[in-house]
Chain A
Amino acid sequence: MNYHSRKLLELHLASWRMATVGGLILAGLAVVAGRAFYLQGLNTDYLQGKGDAVANRSLTLPAHRGMVSDRNGQPLAISAPVESLWARAAELKLTTPHLMQLAHVLETSPDALSRHLQSKRRGEFSVQRPLTPEQAAKVTAMGIPGLYLRREFRRYYPAADVAAHVVGFTNVDDRGQEGVELAYQDWLAGRAGERHVLRDRRGNPIRDLAPMKVAQMGGNLALSLDLKIQYLAHRELAASIVANQAHGGGIVVLDAKTGEILALSNLPVFNPNNRHNYQPGPMRNRAVIDTFEPGSTMKPFTAAAVLERGLFHPDTVIETPETYRVGNKLVRDEHPHPRMTVTEVIQKSSNIGSVKMAMTLTPEQFWDTLHRAGFGQPPGSGFPGETAGRLRNYKTWKPVEQATMAYGHGISVSLLQLARAYMAFANDGEVMPLSFLKREPQETVGERVFSRQVAHEVRAMMETVTHEGGTAVRAQVPGYRVAGKTGTAHKLVDGSYAPDRYISSFVGMAPASDPRLIIAVMIDEPSGGVYYGGSVAAPVFAQVMAGALRQLGLPPDAPQDATLMTQKTQSDPIHMKGRT
């Protein structure tokens, strides 16, 4: 089989042809090798990056914002997923009919929409957030290039305006702006996690490339509020403000044993679910961040100050002339009596009696009592922006100031601070730290303000306020003994007292034998004819207290009517009076 030996098959090629073909093949090889070297050797980082960009993705794992609930687990703020509309400026192609249609779906004007869409040339931006589910479906159906839906979480407040001031609200970016949402932002928000994955052609992750950073979900928060009591307080306050044609008002319900805030409401209020037409005024939690001059609700502290120094006893008789002069100020009583015991001074809310008691103290002694009760200091509730009120240093006091402070003028407090101070009387002299969060009773350590005996004496005096002859007969709660104090203060307008504008208040506690609840009510500028704290604020107190005591199932402590009293025995069926 030697081909060369056959004449016919012998090659007659010129040697240059061999060289040319061989050269071309080698040159091709060189090009391929060069290209391979260029791609693999020189340009590798860039290309690797491109490849990774398609297949490797780092995904952020969003942290779900925690739920805020009341003390019984009723939700007050929940995050729920919503769709929002975003646009990629580079890919956006919008025809005029599409624009009209889109504007129609989004309920805006085509001009405004088109201006908004053309405002940015690069990157991604939100067009509308959030969309309703129907809008989302319509926008998806239109299939406009460059527009896409993004899933976001929106905060909903099931209790709406009822608990709005305490809970606060978040902005569109899910950051707390007010209230508990702001105070506990870090705890509620959690921290977003991250994972690095390899994805397939369809974008599904197939492998984790690095250990993932697990998202730390936002924690849930149980507030001290009791939604039932909160609703009751809110409703009664609102009814009273309408009935008395008042500007506004506030109410605070405290657990006297633990310092927990069971309800706190202010009016005017806002609906945190409606993000349009926000106004700063109604958003203020005025019971915590605004102050007012408390008026006569300060008198029990004046009494406590003289009682604890042994200067007076509850039965000490004080001469109370019709007018009494301190410096150049003439103090008057609304309902003068020639002489009163200390108890009667509190019961009938005598300014002159209080002033005479306060003037037996040195400024330092009086200041010390008020300071211990927490006036002029932040109440420590942890609420953003809580006010300390105003209690000036005793060194700068003039006698007339000490006199007016005895009946609650020239000192300013927040409603929360006032309710907290009354805890000293309710809780046998000890003030528990305030809390907006639910807590276990054993965690709390109180702060002693008055001796047990002084607290008992003052509480007994305050109980007479709701009895016949006191200023707040309308604060009575059937079945329970109630102690409290009314306040009616002229409102400070531009630095002077307005003669016809009042702040009516009532602070009280029940059951008086062992108080469990403290309720402070403040009504701002009642203009329906009545303005005494005993007629305006006390009925709100009574309604809320009655409902709250029933809600908590506290046994009545008042000596009961013979007709209402029944000895319950095993065989006795439960029946309703009036039905039998």
Chain B
Amino acid sequence: MSRLNVLLALVLMTCALTLINAQHRARNYFAELERLKKEARALDEQWGQLQLEQSTWANHARVETLARTQLGLIPPPLDRVRVETLAVAP
């Protein structure tokens, strides 16, 4: 009888320790999840900012000014444009 009690006590102890361990791991994973969520959010925000930055650099007005002033580009005059039509091969 007392041997069974000792055995049960040991089983109980093991269960309790496992529970503690599981709880601890759950909390760790939860913290990890929270951190990753935060990171995802931060990356999302960064993505928005980068898109914003890209579109600011690629702003048509800016590109046009740079092309005209720094690179000296002009729209092609009409006499220098030739339209090619794709002839269907017979």
Residues of A within 8 A of B (CB): 64, 67, 74-75, 78-81, 156, 158-160, 162, 204-207, 227-228, 231, 235, 478-479, 555-556, 560, 564-570, 574, 576-579
Question: Beyond A158-B55, A158-B56, A206-B27, is A78–B48 a contact (Cβ under 8 Å)?
Answer: yes
CB-contact partner of A577 in B31, B51, B80, B86, under 8 A: B80
Q: How far is the CA of A385 from the CA of B55 in the complex (A)?
A: 30
- Chain B positions within 8 Å of A578 at CB level: 79-80
Q: Are B49 and A80 in contact (CB under 8 A)?
A: yes
- With both beta carbons as reference points, the residue of chain B lying nearest to A564 in the complex is identified as B82
A548 to chain B, nearest CB (A): 14
Q: Are B51 and A75 in contact (CB under 8 A)?
A: yes
Residues of B within 8 A of A (CB): 27, 30-31, 34, 44-45, 48-49, 51-52, 55-56, 58-61, 64, 78-87, 89
Q: Are B55 and A75 in contact (CB under 8 A)?
A: yes
Q: Are B84 and A568 in contact (CB under 8 A)?
A: yes
Question: Beyond A204-B31, A227-B60, is A568–B51 a contact (Cβ under 8 Å)?
Answer: no
B24 to chain A, nearest CB (A): 11
Question: Beyond A158-B52, A568-B85, A568-B87, is A81–B45 a contact (Cβ under 8 Å)?
Answer: yes
Q: Are A231 and B83 in contact (CB under 8 A)?
A: no
A379 to chain B, nearest CB (A): 28
- With both beta carbons as reference points, the residue of chain B lying nearest to A75 in the complex is identified as B55
Closest 8 CB pairs of A and B: A158-B55, A231-B60, A578-B80, A577-B82, A75-B55, A81-B45, A78-B52, A567-B87
Q: Are A576 and B82 in contact (CB under 8 A)?
A: yes
- With both beta carbons as reference points, the residue of chain B lying nearest to A480 in the complex is identified as B83
Question: Beyond A158-B59, A207-B27, A478-B78, is A574–B84 a contact (Cβ under 8 Å)?
Answer: yes
Q: How far is the CA of A130 from the CA of B59 in the complex (A)?
A: 24
Q: How far is the CA of A80 from the CA of B27 in the complex (A)?
A: 32
B29 to chain A, nearest CB (A): 11
Q: Are A207 and B30 in contact (CB under 8 A)?
A: yes
- Chain B positions within 8 Å of A479 at CB level: 83
Extra 16 A-B pairs, beta carbons < 8 Å, given A564-B82, A568-B84: A64-B44, A75-B52, A78-B48, A80-B52, A158-B55, A158-B56, A159-B55, A160-B59, A206-B31, A479-B83, A555-B85, A556-B85, A566-B84, A568-B85, A576-B80, A577-B82
CB-contact partner of A564 in B51, B56, B64, B83, under 8 A: B83
Q: How far is the CA of A565 from the CA of B49 in the complex (A)?
A: 48
A114 to chain B, nearest CB (A): 34
- Chain A positions within 8 Å of B86 at CB level: 568
A267 to chain B, nearest CB (A): 15
- With both beta carbons as reference points, the residue of chain B lying nearest to A547 in the complex is identified as B75
- With both beta carbons as reference points, the residue of chain B lying nearest to A217 in the complex is identified as B44
Q: Are A577 and B79 in contact (CB under 8 A)?
A: yes
